[in-house]
Structure 1
Amino acid sequence: MMELDLMKETCQLAILDLGGLEVLLNLLDTNDIRCKIGSLKILTKISQNVQLQQTIVHMRGLQRMVNNLDSPVKELQALAAETIANVTKFQRARRTVRQHGGIRKLVKLLDCFPNSADLRANMEKDLEVARCGASALWSCSKSTKNKEAIRRAGGIPLLGRLLRSPHENMLVPVVGTLQECASQISTIQELQPLFMELL
């Protein structure tokens, strides 16, 4: 399937019509890491289609993606978070992620390094996981209840720490999430000392 042009709407709808989406989502329940990664690589691309986003939610696909955020495999975490970011473009999807503990798990992905001086061998993978987690939180933060859930899960200090990142692709979702969350007074109070540190 990866050899197909998965960005073409005709391919995306063909996968849906032929039952391929159900198979891809079922693979997320297996114990085979390679099957899960392969499935998510396809889902990440085709989940940009609005019709498929709604079908994924209807088929309980988001719950399966949230479950995979706990995996110790970094690539699997990143792909699951990136796909969640694509799917959570409407209210029901954002609510589903929150109700199944997804906000807390996505916030946990942001904690990619205990302190900025710690350069581990897996730092690049950890940063990619954090970037995908921030993208998913940005998408989820369009909901008022999710903004509060991000704050309660300890997301604001972790997002503030990521503001020091030199990588633009990290800063865009981090700043986007903070901007969404800044509509909450409690979040503004948490942000003030973080911004003072940056100045």
Structure 2
Amino acid sequence: MLIPVVGTLQECASEKSFRIVIQTEGMIKDLVKNLNSENDELQMHCASAIFKCAEDKQTRDLVRKYKGLKPLVSLLSKEDNKELLAAATGAIWKCSISMENVDELQKYKALETLVHLLTDEPEDVLVNVVGALGEFAQIPANKAIIRKCGGIKSLVNLLTGTNQALLVNVTRAVGACATDMENMVIIDQLDGVRLVWSLLKNPNADVQSSAAWALCPCIENAKDAGEMVRSLVGGFELIVNLLKSTNNEVLASICAAIAKIAKDKENLAILTDHGVVPLLAKLTNKTDDRLRRHLAEAICHCCMWGTNRASFGDAGAVAPLATYLMSNDKAVHQSTAMALYQLSKEPNNCITMHQKGVVKPLIHFMGSDDEMLQEATAGCVRNIRTLCLANRQAQDQ
């Protein structure tokens, strides 16, 4: 009786309206209870229903409350039943989006078991296992566990696959692991950065953006990042061309990666030769705050070469950047102020900023608790003020 009932429920759980009812009618408790049954098919349907419902934070909390995490981990031992394994790993992946659940899952050594499942499993299982690893790796101690269990090599090996859902999860997991210096050494030795970079060619926008986000910690933590990036044949062309994408998430991730690459002067010179300045300037009319934040950061770092500051002004980037100060996002304020400060070292840009009324909001931000924001806004106002005074003195003479 239970098998067709729960089977019907888990099919229905693909629809959001049903997931809400499953949660509000108290069915999560029953699903967890039946995870402990002796019947594989019933367990599979229960785990599958949790997998679909655990997108929602309240459901994830309920699974923990009703002690559902331990039986889910115990199901990982049923490697012979691939359908059940896919459902269990999926439920663990979605439950691990909540860090409280990751702590609980680690009491039952879930991470070590998941790393063990990174080889010789069907793709639907791998997508879920790697998705879970990406969540577990948000906690610093877990990055070391993944390394000690040999997980970095297994993850890098999966970067050569073709399954797009798997590639999105693998790049995310590799990026999360790359924030640990010891992990980064292994990723570098295994040619992992080149493999992630080559995924920027993938036609799928989710894969492109996930790969670009993963490149950011790789570039930041590589031993000789500048040389590493230069060694990638066609790498600059590939990343600059993606600034023509129509997808905001791709654009935000590419801008974030460019900000990291541009910290190396030689690489910034190459980016400039590839026409990065007009392409970044063209994006300044976007309204998406996540994109604006990383775009302003990229512009700030790209100002540090040759005549780029003047080129941004000539390309019309200054006036739209000034409007970013009206955003409600504090991260946008910080990166915009830093970009405007760099741009304000060019007199013509100061004139544009003054005309666009940036002084008032900049003075307001000087009172911020954020020291970087204070410093950037003060420097920008000083540069505008210095130019105004110089003009006035010239007119008086």
- TM-score normalised by length of structure 2: 0.44
Q: In the alignment, does 2:260 pair up with 1:169?
A: no
For 2:267, which of 181, 187, 198 is the aligned residue?
A: 187
Q: In the alignment, does 2:116 pair up with 1:26?
A: yes
CA root-mean-square deviation:
2.0
For 2:225, which of 137, 140, 146 is the aligned residue?
A: 146
Larger gyration radius, structure 1 or structure 2: 2
> Quick one: structure 1 residues 57 and 147, their matched pair in 2 at CA, closer, same or farther if it must change by over 3 Å?
farther
Amino acid of the residue matched to residue 212 of structure 2? A
- The superposition leaves residues 29-60 of structure 1 with CA deviations (integer Å, 9 ceiling, x where unpaired) of 11411221121122222221122122112222
Are the aligned partners of 1:138 and 1:174 in contact in 2 as well (CA < 8 Å)?
A: no
- How does 1:1-199 map onto structure 2 within 5 Å? 1=72, 2=91, 5-112=95-202, 123=203, 126-143=204-221, 144-154=223-233, 155-194=235-274, 195=276, 198=279
- 4+ residue segments displaced more than 3 Å: 7-10
> Quick one: structure 1 residues 196 and 8, their matched pair in 2 at CA, closer, same or farther if it must change by over 3 Å?
closer
> Quick one: structure 1 residues 182 and 163, their matched pair in 2 at CA, closer, same or farther if it must change by over 3 Å?
same
> Quick one: structure 1 residues 64 and 74, their matched pair in 2 at CA, closer, same or farther if it must change by over 3 Å?
same
Amino acid of the residue matched to residue 142 of structure 1? E
Structure 1 position 196, deviation (Å):
5.4
Q: How many residues align?
A: 187
- TM-score normalised by length of structure 1: 0.84
Are the aligned partners of 2:205 and 2:247 in contact in 1 as well (CA < 8 Å)?
A: no
Unaligned runs of at least 5 residues, structure 1: 113-122
Identity of aligned residues (%): 18
Are the aligned partners of 1:66 and 1:102 in contact in 2 as well (CA < 8 Å)?
A: yes
Give the whole-Å Cα distance in 1 for the aligned partners of 2:241 and 2:171: 19
Amino acid of the residue matched to residue 245 of structure 2? S
Report the equivalent of 2:334.
none
Amino acid of the residue matched to residue 133 of structure 1? A
Give the whole-Å Cα distance in 1 for the aligned partners of 2:277 and 2:101: 49
Give the whole-Å Cα distance in 2 for the aligned partners of 1:147 and 1:137: 13
Which structure has the higher relative contact order (CA within 8 Å, separation 6+)?
1
Amino acid of the residue matched to residue 184 of structure 1? D
> Quick one: structure 1 residues 146 and 60, their matched pair in 2 at CA, closer, same or farther if it must change by over 3 Å?
farther
Amino acid of the residue matched to residue 214 of structure 2? A
Structure 1 position 106, deviation (Å):
0.6
Structure 1 position 167, deviation (Å):
2.4
